[in-house]
Amino acid sequence: MSSVIEQIEQQIANLQTKTVASNTGKIVTVGDGVAKIDGLSEVMYNEMIEFPGETIGIALNLEEDEVGAVVLGEATHLREGDQVTCTGKLLSVPVGKGMLGRVVDALGRPVDGKGNIESDETYPVEKIAPGIIERKSVDQPLMTGIQAIDSMIPIGRGQRELIIGDRGTGKTTIAIDTIINQANINKVGLASGDPNFRPVYSIYVAVGQKNSNVARTLGVLEEKGALEYTIVVSAPAADSAANQYLAPYTGAAMGEWFMSNGMDALIVYDDLSKHAAAYRQMSLVLKRPSGREAYPGDVFYLHSRLLERSARVNEDNGNGSLTALPIIETLAGDLSAYIPTNVISITDGQIFLETDLFNQGIRPAVSVGLSVSRVGSAAQVKATKQVAGKIKLELAQFRELAAFAQFGSDLDARTKAQLDRGSRIVELFKQPAFNPIPIEQQVGVLWSMQNNYFDDIDVSQMVSASDALRDFLVSRKESLLTAIREKAKIDDDLAEQLKTAVDEWKASFA
């Protein structure tokens, strides 16, 4: 009780008795989450403005005789003639490690019912991305735990890798798998006490999704023990378009805080198609001129300024990184639509998921031909490079031959061997959802594939064979796996150990 009184006394003592100057305006019209305001002569672009009832908004249209602003949150209590005040501040959100394990809205306020967030630091939602001098090229890997991706489309810390595909092809699953894998790696790394270990913190931004989907994702993260390393920013479909527009920038601010403080972070934007649609809605209500597919002219800048904030900064600037995995949903596999082409051109590569592959049971349904990582190979672990160097080419040749082989019955022995090997690789890359595989196990399996240990195993038995090999390595050869993880390359000694281990497994499996 006395502390409350002390607090009040302190507040009264700090009370400003001098004149307070403010720049104000009056609401002319309000509707659809957008207010037109007369006055506010000194308002800045993107400035936070204050409406009655502690409601805030952002000034987005500065016109000659009025200001267009989006209202963040509930706008039903606002009336014509209500006073609006400039704050002189850009919108900021709370950041820091205190946010980990929490679910927040687009303004960084907790929505998980776990009480207040312990964070005394804020970060501007809109910020200019790090410049050229501050940056460094991508050279550290970020393992997704998905064999097909880590071996053929590797991702580096600070990279922007787009996940693109039709609805229901497993885009979110890949992103969640990656978050779970970071948590698994963090647990092992932090437990090892290695002073050079750099944990990766994750931020999952849900834009325009059903609350049930967000709840399911949260459930998975919690079940797999990944939530403690993750911040979830949620702007569900029921939120206003303004909140959906803002959520990715809020997430980026939280991730950028980790980067600017010398840490590594991963951010997933799920998804930017809905983000663009929310921005289109807002722009149309603000009466901005519309262009292709009714999107406003600056829809490219909307995504480029967001994704440019993901970077790897050099040692002079803390050596941190922010890796982005934006997600785009296509319609009937059309990659040439407006938003997909925009985001493809902004990012450093894409993972394309195909509906046909998904329906054939090939999951994750990664299309090898259309997926690419432009900068990730520089960051790929050497051991993976040694065992998976040729796999992408072999798989691409297999797809071509498989299509061709449908028309002929007589095939030469070489073609048959290629088809056989290809179908084994396809089976090998099948992986259940939310079960990322540690890189050392991936290396073990791929080494066995490269050295023809799977050649005499029936194609239908490939998945169980690779599972059995991994189980064998984990339960019987843990020291070998640790050696692969620590050395990160296969030298003669490791190759010999692998040969002995896989021979032993093969004898027991057969």
Partner 1 sequence: MKQDKQIKEFAKQLLKISLENGELSAERVDGVLKSLEKNPPRHHLATLKAYLKLVAREVAKSTAVISHAGAISPETATRIAAQLSSKYGRSIASVTREDPSLIAGLRVVVDCDVYDASIASSLATLETALS
55-62 vs 47-51, strand pairing mode:
antiparallel
Rule CB under 8 A: which of 47-76 touch partner 1? 54, 65
Q: Could you tell me which stretch among 13-21, 125-133, 230-238, 242-250 binds partner 1 (CB under 8 A)?
A: 13-21
Q: Could you tell me which stretch among 19-27, 145-153, 189-197, 223-231 binds partner 1 (CB under 8 A)?
A: 19-27
State the nearest-atom distance from the C-beta of 293 to partner 1, in Å.
Answer: 22
Annotated catalytic residue within 374, 399, 470, 476? 374
15 is an interface residue for partner 1 by CB under 8 A: yes
DSSP string, 193-224: T-TT---EEEEEEEES--HHHHHHHHHHHHHT
21 backbone dihedrals φ, ψ, rounded to 5°: -95, 135
Q: Which of 20, 132, 133, 510 binds partner 1 (CB under 8 A)?
A: 20
User: CA geometry: angle at 344 spanning 146 and 180, to 5°?
Assistant: 25
Please report the sign of the dihedral spanned by the C-alpha atoms of residue 345, residue 252, residue 268, residue 274.
negative
Do residues 354 and 365 lie in contact, with contact meaning Cβ atoms separated by under 8 Å? yes
- 350 vs 52: CA distance, rounded Å: 45
- 491 vs 499: CA distance, rounded Å: 12
- Known catalytic residue at 374: yes
Q: Which of 1, 2, 5, 17 binds partner 1 (CB under 8 A)?
A: 17
Q: Could you tell me which stretch among 37-45, 143-151, 328-336, 363-371 binds partner 1 (CB under 8 A)?
A: 37-45
Q: Which amino acid is at 490?
A: I
Alpha-carbon distances, residue 151 vs 145, 224, 361, 400, 492 (angstroms): 10, 24, 20, 20, 21
State the nearest-atom distance from the C-beta of 105 to partner 1, in Å.
Answer: 19
State the nearest-atom distance from the C-beta of 125 to partner 1, in Å.
Answer: 21
Q: Which of 1, 5, 21, 510 binds partner 1 (CB under 8 A)?
A: 21
Q: Which residue number, 23 or 423, has a Cβ lying nearer to partner 1?
A: 23
State the nearest-atom distance from the C-beta of 22 to partner 1, in Å.
Answer: 5
2 is an interface residue for partner 1 by CB under 8 A: no
290 is an interface residue for partner 1 by CB under 8 A: no
Do residues 150 and 144 lie in contact, with contact meaning Cβ atoms separated by under 8 Å? yes
- 397 vs 57: CA distance, rounded Å: 55
How big is the site for partner 1, counted in residues (CB under 8 A)? 22
25 is an interface residue for partner 1 by CB under 8 A: yes
40 is an interface residue for partner 1 by CB under 8 A: yes
Q: Which of 11, 76, 212, 479 binds partner 1 (CB under 8 A)?
A: 11
- 304 closest CA partner among 255, 263, 339: 339
13 is an interface residue for partner 1 by CB under 8 A: no
Residue that the structure tokens 């990279």 belong to: 159
Q: Which of 3, 16, 336, 508 binds partner 1 (CB under 8 A)?
A: 16
39 is an interface residue for partner 1 by CB under 8 A: yes
Rg (CA), the chain: 26
| Alpha helices (H) along 106-170 | 147-152
Active-site positions read 374
Interacting residue ranges for partner 1, rule: CB under 8 A: 7-8, 11-12, 15-25, 39-42, 54, 65, 85
